[in-house]
């Protein structure tokens, strides 16, 4: 009986294979997934399916754990880019805090504010929003990338713009405001920390954020150590004592013709030295006096001979 059922199934398979390809309305094609499923329900074994439809393979073969599928390329952002308008509206939130942007860029020759003196050390780029329909948005920032790493990116952008067909190249960047460069007066100038032409969905500012966080931690420790030393120096030599000692040293240098180029013009030296003592940075004075004792004469002379002190205190 078993042999008879199998023979019927085989006969049905052979007849189905001899038929022309079914058109719409005639049911599923024999070697489609639905056709294979019906054959299995009719009792066809794995060997029959393999012989009947050798190109399609079976569901079991397709799930072979030895297969090496090609990893799909990412089509969504690993980290969502930030809009330029958001960065520009809130610079303190992006100060030394790297963030991802997707923009339209082109080389620029605009160097201003904190980047006024960086023409020899940085490439400048004009950045605008890259809109979905290929147009360029109206918001604008200027980004500055260090020449030490950014020449390949600069050349890639130029290659995109050759021939004049496009005015901008799209690029994925990691940017931040630099404490060294940002003066609070212009939110239009950011540091470019990493850059690639085109959409780089897997670019991640995380490692740079961690690096900046570590640097900030080190900076905080250094600042804390300096603050502690400053407090100890102030406790050892209070402000009034420091001013008095500073004025005494000033008077001694005047009497010894050590200030004003070796000449001692006739004027009120006591007033001059008290005035200078009120203008000096006392923390700096404590350093050159090594507390309240031995002065660094050269540094003291430079300060007392400076135009700002002479013009303010001489009478």
Per-residue pLDDT of the chain (315 residues; tens, 9 = 90+): 444 544 544 445 444 444 444 444 444 555 666 666 666 666 666 666 666 666 544 444 343 444 444 444 556 889 999 999 999 999 999 999 999 999 999 999 999 999 999 999 999 999 999 988 778 899 999 999 999 999 999 999 999 998 878 899 999 999 999 988 998 888 999 999 999 999 998 888 888 778 767 766 676 777 777 778 778 878 888 888 888 888 888 888 887 777 776 665 667 888 899 999 999 888 888 877 766 766 667 888 888 888 888 888 877
Handedness of CA 30, 36, 39, 45 (dihedral sign): positive
What per-residue string of b and e applies to 228-257 under the rule 16 or more CB within 10 Å gives b? eeeeebeeebeeeebbebbbebbeebbeee
Point out which residues pair with 141 in neighbouring strands. Answer: 127
Q: Is the pTM of this model over 0.95?
A: no
CA angle, corner 246, sides to 244 and 247, nearest 5?
65
């Amino acid at each position: 009986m078993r042999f008879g059922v199998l023979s019927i199934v085989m006969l049905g398979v052979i007849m189905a294979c001899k038929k022309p390809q079914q058109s719409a309305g005639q049911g599923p094609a024999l070697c489609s997934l639905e056709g294979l499923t019906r054959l299995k329900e009719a009792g066809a074994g794995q060997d029959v399916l393999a012989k009947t439809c050798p190109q399609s393979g079976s569901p079991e073969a397709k799930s072979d754990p030895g297969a090496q599928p090609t990893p799909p390329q990412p089509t969504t952002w690993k980290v969502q880019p930030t809009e330029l308008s958001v960065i520009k509206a809130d610079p303190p939130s992006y100060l030394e805090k790297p963030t991802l942007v997707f923009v339209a860029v082109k080389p620029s020759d605009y160097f201003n504010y904190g980047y006024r003196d960086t023409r020899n050390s940085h490439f400048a780029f004009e950045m605008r929003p890259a809109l979905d329909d290929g147009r360029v948005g109206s918001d604008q920032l200027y980004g500055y990338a260090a020449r030490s790493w950014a020449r390949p990116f600069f050349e890639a952008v130029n290659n995109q713009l050759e021939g004049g067909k496009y005015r901008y190249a799209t690029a994925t960047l990691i940017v931040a405001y630099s404490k060294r460069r940002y003066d609070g007066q212009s939110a239009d100038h950011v540091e470019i920390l990493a850059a690639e032409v085109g959409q780089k969905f897997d670019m991640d500012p995380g490692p740079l954020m961690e690096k900046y966080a570590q640097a900030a931690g080190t900076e905080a420790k250094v600042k804390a150590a300096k603050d502690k030393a400053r407090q100890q120096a102030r406790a050892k030599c209070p402000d009034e004592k420091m001013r008095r000692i500073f004025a005494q040293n000033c008077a001694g240098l005047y009497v010894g013709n050590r200030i004003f180029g070796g000449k001692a013009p006739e004027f009120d030296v006591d007033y001059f030295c008290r005035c200078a003592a009120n203008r000096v940075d006392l923390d700096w004075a404590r350093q050159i006096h090594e507390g309240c004792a031995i002065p660094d004469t050269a540094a003291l002379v430079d300060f007392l001979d400076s135009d700002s002190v002479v013009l303010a205190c001489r009478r």
